[in-house]
Amino acid sequence: MQPHPPSPVRFEHLTDGLGIGTGTPRLSWTPAAQAGDQHAYEVEVERQGRSRRTGRVTGSDHLLVAWPAEPLTSRERALVRVRTWSASNSEPSAWSEPSIVETGLLTPTDWSALPVGAAWDEDPAAERRPARVRKHFEADDKPIHRARLYITAHGLYEAEINGTRVGDEALAPGWTVYPHRLRYRTHDVTSLLTPGANTIGAWLGDGWYRGKYGFDGGTRNIYGTDQSLIAQLEITYTDGTTTVIATDHTWHAAPSPILTSGLYEGETFDARLDDPNWTTPAASPDGWTPVRTGTRDPRTLVAPDGPPVRCTQEILPVSVTRTPDGHHLLDFGQNLVGRLRITADGPAGTTLTLRHAEVLQDGELATRPLREAHSTDTLILPGTGPYTWEPRFTLHGFRYAEITGWPGEFDPQAVTARVHHTDMRRTGWFECSDPMVNRLHENVLWSMRGNFVDIPTDCPQRDERLGWTGDIQVFAPTASFLYDCAGMLDSWLTDVGLEQLPDGTIPWYVPVIPGEPMWTPIQPGAAWGDVATLTPWTLYQRFGDLELLRRHYPMGKAWVDLVEKLAGPDRLWDTGFQLGDWLDPTAPPNDPAAGRTDRHLVATGYFAHSARHLAHAAHALGHTSDADRYDTLANEITTAFQSRYVHPDGRMTSDSPTAYALAIAFDLLDTTRRQAAGDRLAELVNQDGARIATGFVGTPLICDALTDTSHLDTAYRLLLQTDCPSWLYTVTMGATTIWERWDSLRPDGTLNPGGMTSFNHYALGAVADWLHRVVGGIEVTAPGARTLAFRPRPGGGITWARTRHETPHGTAELFWETTGAGMKAKITVPPNCTAVVELPGCEPSRLTPGTHTLHSTDTASK
């Protein structure tokens, strides 16, 4: 029988090859598990009716393989498929399903579109009513072969052609450092066009470009005062001729039925003003006036590196109650990020108000944590029968919604919460015998979904929602296990590089927007700035993309070089503003950076860790002199760290869990003091009744530090603690996402009074990485998951765990359960991977690809 085909080919880190921004996309495929290890492959590229094959290429490469043909030119389409050979079979596999790749507009001269928007007077200092723009046009009266829409905006857009929405993306074009990079998308709109009369139009919103955004209610016009569409529709007829409809002075604009729109504020929509046929040739011209045209440097228009934001799930309310003043209070049973879609029927002018919140207090929406983000949507009904509506250019973080003004009988089926986030491919799963730990893991997953909204944000609900560098730095190992986030984070890291200051400083959040005095001028800070070195390395480990590491290397190097200068010859970074172990639970509420751990201990520890990782990166990239230089630097910092912060007996100057956890996890101690530090760490944790005493820096490290110094039992005590502060405390309080503070909701059920009280912040969920590696037992041990370790370390009374990870090579899975005599484990090793298994009490041994059942008789695993 012919061996099974590999998966269809993927291009770069995209799931869809349409509109790719390079003429030489790299190819990846996953060999079929049943086909055995790949020994050789052949790629076929079919373009312009001609196909070309590479011939049989010996090798196991199947990840980001170089484009094997002449570069594609703008708008060029190719079909790509692959087949493989295993060592044991001379017959090739079947060909994979062909995948389509098609380039976008690769050169600036391909663009003729100009930004177009409202020409009427607007007050840039005030709230402005959004516009819609459109154009009626004639397509030639001959068959259309294909049509593509290349589209972006200053602000946000949603396009329609002949009454049908184009694509299903939300908040397009997302958020990048707009002056340098504005992403456009490519849509296949062939089926929406007809020969003869057609209409194209777009809804516009302010979004990040000119909407109010940032602290204290936000700043308007961060990137510009205009709200404009930039679109180019290219129609190719079967005879090869083309028509191009680009945004220019011939378009028209009209005030939108969206009366107000803001990412924080929400949206107000007057359906009485809507004409559902506004993008059809028959639409009335009343109220439409010629547009104003602007300029945009086409060199700044770039294709996306990752998937768009879209709705990925719909949730109906689990309960609806009536408040004393007659409003409807809906509970969706899950704290989520998205918006409501409602269908309501009532007299014209009936106004429905939709408010959102993550938690209730005294039976009412608790909106104080949202600060200045009003998160209120308003619909004014047209009075023409049942009307279905969902806001377009906003998202809210909520579990509860309150609806005011519902006309007639309330139908719970008429309201749906639509979950939105960057639509990444899920790659990681974990569950175990403890339902509370499973809920904690679910909460991590939901916090990732809610905060991976084009950029990795701190929180999705209050007037912030910024790309805080420290949060993703600690969470990236968890994120890259759960989802294929390579494209999205690669894109964001490009923006981090663009926002890096000339002296090497990495901003606290990216994209940079006007900040509070604390963040202005921007100062370098440990743990946050270290995203420049650590996150590219994490992505390289998980996704195996050496080019990604190469592209971001200069950013990491400039960061470490800066810190080297700041530290001076003694190698101690002990000056300047630092956030330290941010949100240490013992820090005073008004100064979350003032925890028990010396901030400069944290800074110097991170300096060593970054220098070490930069050396690893330099080594991987073949920059040998850099590798030596940064290794030496890391050694010197380590020595300096020890003499400044560690006493001879292993006690540290900050006798705090974070200090020990960091020193152990970053490998900053000699063997003797390392064990002493581990013992002291365990002692501190146990003294404290195994309640959490760490913040953003210590929390992601503490379980590993305990595990690696033979205090696994203490790590499990911490994990399974249910008293405040602890991970499972939040679960006992009904959390369905990870909270910003250990006690965002306090044991008496009241809200934490602090100004920062989010219920959806992934940073403290970084413990899931330990769940995957230590409880679950699957660890990536070489770049691109070429080698894996299956090393479950059971404890805490957990009797089984099942962990699965879709590696670039295929499925890795480990199920273990304790038995009377020890442990039974079922392990799946993907093809082309080298694996080591180490069950408790057993010597490590090699495992070949395939599925294996193993037993250990070690009673420690019970």
Point out the residues that are catalytic.
464, 740
Provide, rounded to whole angstroms, the least separation between the CB of residue 769 and ligand BGC: 18
**Rounded distance, CA 31 to CA 14, Å?**
18
Provide, rounded to whole angstroms, the least separation between the CB of residue 416 and ligand BGC: 29
Helices and strands per DSSP (H, E), number in the chain: 14, 47
| Interface map 759-788 toward ligand BGC (x if CB under 6 A) | --x---------------------------
Do residues 582 and 592 touch, judged by C-beta distance below 8 A? yes
Comparison of 531 and 720: residue with beta carbon closer to ligand BGC: 531
Cα 627–chain centre separation = 30
Provide, rounded to whole angstroms, the least separation between the CB of residue 662 and ligand BGC: 17
Comparison of 19 and 470: residue with beta carbon closer to ligand BGC: 470
Provide, rounded to whole angstroms, the least separation between the CB of residue 758 and ligand BGC: 6
DSSP 146-195: EEEEEEEEESEEEEEETTEE---BSSTT--S-TTT-EE-EEEE-GGG--S
Q: How many CB atoms neighbour CB 111 within 10 A?
A: 18
Do residues 598 and 654 touch, judged by C-beta distance below 8 A? yes
**Rounded distance, CA 309 to CA 202, Å?**
18
Using CB under 6 A, which of 11, 184, 389, 582 touches ligand BGC?
582
Provide, rounded to whole angstroms, the least separation between the CB of residue 529 and ligand BGC: 12
Comparison of 541 and 658: residue with beta carbon closer to ligand BGC: 658
Q: Per CB under 6 A, which of residues 401..460 are in contact with ligand BGC?
A: 458-459
Q: Which amino acid is at 184?
A: Y
Comparison of 458 and 769: residue with beta carbon closer to ligand BGC: 458
Using CB under 6 A, which of 115, 117, 211, 470 touches ligand BGC?
470
727-764 burial by CB neighbour count: b if 16+ within 10 A, else e? bbbbbebebbbbbbbbbbbeeeeebbebebbbbbbbbb
**Rounded distance, CA 764 to CA 745, Å?**
15
Decide: helix, strand or coil at residue 46: strand
Q: Residue length, the chain?
A: 862
Return the range that interacts with ligand BGC (CB under 6 A); candidates 27-35, 386-394, 465-473, 612-620: 465-473
Residue 358 contacts ligand BGC per CB under 6 A: no
Burial status of residue 281 (CB atoms within 10 A of its CB: 0-12, 13-18, 19 or more): middle
Using CB under 6 A, which of 431, 464, 769, 779 touches ligand BGC?
464
Comparison of 234 and 471: residue with beta carbon closer to ligand BGC: 471
Comparison of 268 and 535: residue with beta carbon closer to ligand BGC: 535
Residue 365 contacts ligand BGC per CB under 6 A: no
491 is written with which tokens? 């894109």
Comparison of 203 and 264: residue with beta carbon closer to ligand BGC: 264
Cα 671–chain centre separation = 37
Decide: helix, strand or coil at residue 624: helix
Do residues 381 and 344 touch, judged by C-beta distance below 8 A? yes
CA angle 663, 664, 670 (to 5 degrees): 85
Provide CB contacts within 8 A for 21, sequence distance 6+.
103, 104, 106, 302, 303, 304, 305
| Interface map 471-500 toward ligand BGC (x if CB under 6 A) | x-----------------------------
Output the furthest CA–CA distance in the chain (Å, rounded): 87
The dihedrals phi and psi of 96, each to the nearest 5 degrees, come to -65, 160
Comparison of 25 and 470: residue with beta carbon closer to ligand BGC: 470
Exposure of 307 in the CB half-sphere (CA atoms within 13 A) = 21
Number of chain positions touching ligand BGC (CB under 6 A): 10
Residue 579 contacts ligand BGC per CB under 6 A: yes
**Dihedral sign for Cα atoms in the order 367, 369, 370, 372:** positive
Tokens 């901030």 label which residue?
599
Among 205, 224, 316, CA closest to 264: 205
Residue 262 contacts ligand BGC per CB under 6 A: no
Provide, rounded to whole angstroms, the least separation between the CB of residue 603 and ligand BGC: 14
Provide, rounded to whole angstroms, the least separation between the CB of residue 576 and ligand BGC: 15
Return the range that interacts with ligand BGC (CB under 6 A); candidates 148-156, 353-361, 430-438, 466-474: 466-474
Using CB under 6 A, which of 455, 566, 756, 788 touches ligand BGC?
756
Return the range that interacts with ligand BGC (CB under 6 A); candidates 36-44, 67-75, 154-162, 463-471: 463-471
Provide, rounded to whole angstroms, the least separation between the CB of residue 222 and ligand BGC: 18
Tokens 């005062």 label which residue?
225
Provide, rounded to whole angstroms, the least separation between the CB of residue 588 and ligand BGC: 15
Provide, rounded to whole angstroms, the least separation between the CB of residue 739 and ligand BGC: 11
Return the range that interacts with ligand BGC (CB under 6 A); candidates 222-230, 430-438, 446-454, 467-475: 467-475
Comparison of 386 and 755: residue with beta carbon closer to ligand BGC: 755
As a 3-state breakdown, the chain gives helix, strand, coil percent values, each rounded to 5, of: 25, 30, 45
Comparison of 469 and 709: residue with beta carbon closer to ligand BGC: 469
User: Is the backbone of residue 402 left (phi > 0), alpha (psi -120 to 50) or beta?
Assistant: beta
Residue 468 contacts ligand BGC per CB under 6 A: yes
Provide, rounded to whole angstroms, the least separation between the CB of residue 564 and ligand BGC: 24
| Interface map 651-670 toward ligand BGC (x if CB under 6 A) | --------------------
Comparison of 552 and 761: residue with beta carbon closer to ligand BGC: 761
Q: How many angstroms separate the Cα of 174 from the Cα of each of 452, 489, 511?
A: 11, 13, 11
Interface contacts to ligand BGC, rule CB under 6 A: 458-459, 464, 468, 470-471, 579, 582, 756, 761
